[in-house]
């Protein structure tokens, strides 16, 4: 078969890659959840300050490791998650062609660098898309609204993206989701999801993670002007990744704020309301941090990074307080 397209695929103007793909796969199974709810039920929020050996510039991450959100969501809702990985290019193609020919979309983890529709050519091996069709030359994908929603790329570029090796990559990973008839109502999973996310954040084992990681960033960001090989380029890129690089704004804090806001209408708990209020504050402050970093890159004014560092230290305290409240959430529906 030289071409196959899954019918009734609905791309939406979503913001984060993994929740975008999850939304496509679950809607096709009849489960339609808002993007913030997918992110929150997957306990997706986190923080990492990453400056590994050989990295050209530090990376600030605001979510859990790639694919951990998917695993969390499937476990929490009782979904059947089928994952395939292989070192064989032939087998990798068969793993995605088979479900599409059977009439269902498939999720892929890959390196966005090779995707032809991507405007920014940066290696990121934790990118996730939904694939819903192909012909002799191209594949049909759903990506974030920022990347164009329903898009296409060549089969050759997809193969290169899927087989790339490096940080956060997976070996030609593809996955499908099934929604059993006895899937747990998502509303009943709000409190476990909130508590699990808060516990992991507060009890992060190393100083680069969680609220301690944010505090560390507050100490190190003021030195970024000297750390940068090209401050104008590197600081602009760091700010872009915080605010617009598929995070939904505020390094995923806006998505989590909206999830908690949706939950306050379902769960009557003062700790949940406190967490929602504090994450609304945190989302705005992260946007301010990104703006200061971007302006520092444009102007060369290192004092703006000092101000960003001060905000980050405030954010460490705010998010610690928010998560301490959220880990105590109980409530009733």
The pLDDT assigned to 332 comes to 56
**Contact predicate 214/269, CB 8 Å:** no
pLDDT band at 119 (very low <50, low <70, confident <90, very high): confident
Q: Is the pLDDT of residue 232 over 90?
A: yes
For 132, residues 6+ apart whose C-beta sits below 8 A from its C-beta are 5, 6, 9, 24, 100, 105, 106, 140, 141, 142
**Contact predicate 190/38, CB 8 Å:** no
Q: Is the pLDDT of residue 122 over 90?
A: no
First to last CA, the chain: 50
Q: Report the pLDDT averaged over residues 102-123.
A: 94
The pLDDT assigned to 1 comes to 53
pLDDT tens string 85-110:
999 999 999 999 999 999 999 999 99
Kindly report the CATH class assigned to 4-32+80-178: alpha beta
For 23, residues 6+ apart whose C-beta sits below 8 A from its C-beta are 12, 14, 32, 33, 35, 38
For 303, residues 6+ apart whose C-beta sits below 8 A from its C-beta are none
Q: Give the residue extent of every domain in the chain.
A: 4-32+80-178, 186-326
pLDDT tens string 176-210:
999 998 888 999 999 999 999 999 999 999 999 99
Q: Report the pLDDT averaged over residues 61-73.
A: 97
Kindly report the average pLDDT of the chain as a whole number: 95
φ/ψ (deg, to 5) at 57: -160, 150
φ/ψ (deg, to 5) at 293: -65, -45
CA 138 to CA 156: how far, in whole Å? Answer: 8
Model-level pTM? 0.96
Query: Within 13 A of 45's CA, how many CA atoms are on the CB side?
Result: 37
Which residue has better confidence, 245 or 120? 245
**Contact predicate 201/211, CB 8 Å:** yes
For 86, residues 6+ apart whose C-beta sits below 8 A from its C-beta are 92, 95, 171, 172
């Amino acid at each position: 078969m030289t071409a196959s397209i899954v019918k009734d695929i609905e791309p939406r103007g979503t913001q984060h890659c993994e929740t975008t793909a999850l939304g496509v796969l679950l809607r096709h199974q009849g489960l339609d959840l808002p993007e913030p709810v997918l992110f929150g039920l997957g306990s997706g929020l986190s923080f990492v300050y990453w400056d590994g050996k050989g990295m050209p510039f530090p990376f600030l991450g605001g979510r859990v490791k790639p694919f951990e959100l998917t695993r969390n969501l499937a476990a929490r809702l009782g979904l059947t998650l089928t994952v395939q990985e292989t070192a064989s290019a032939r087998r990798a193609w068969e793993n995605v062609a088979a479900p599409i020919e059977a009439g269902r979309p498939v999720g892929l983890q890959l390196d966005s660098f090779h995707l032809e529709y991507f405007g920014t050519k940066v290696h990121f091996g934790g990118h996730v898309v939904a694939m819903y069709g192909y012909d002799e030359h191209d594949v049909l994908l759903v990506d974030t609204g920022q990347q164009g929603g329903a898009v296409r790329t060549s089969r050759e570029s997809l193969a290169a993206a899927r087989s790339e090796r490096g940080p956060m990559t997976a070996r030609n990973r593809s996955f499908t989701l099934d929604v059993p008839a006895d899937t747990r109502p998502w509303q009943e999973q709000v409190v476990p999801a909130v508590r699990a996310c808060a516990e992991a954040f507060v009890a992060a084992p190393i100083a680069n993670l969680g609220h301690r990681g944010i505090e560390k960033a507050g100490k190190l960001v003021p030195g970024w002007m000297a750390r940068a090989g090209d401050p104008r380029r590197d600081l602009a890129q760091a700010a872009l990744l915080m605010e617009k690089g598929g995070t939904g704004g505020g390094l995923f804090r806006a998505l989590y704020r909206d999830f908690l806001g949706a939950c306050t209408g379902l769960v009557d708990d003062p700790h949940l309301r406190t967490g929602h209020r504090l994450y609304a504050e945190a989302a705005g402050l992260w946007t301010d941090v990104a703006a200061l970093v971007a302006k520092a890159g444009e102007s060369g004014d290192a004092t703006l990074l000092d101000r960003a560092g001060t905000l980050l230290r405030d954010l460490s305290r705010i998010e610690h307080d928010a998560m301490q409240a959220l880990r105590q959430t109980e409530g009733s529906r």
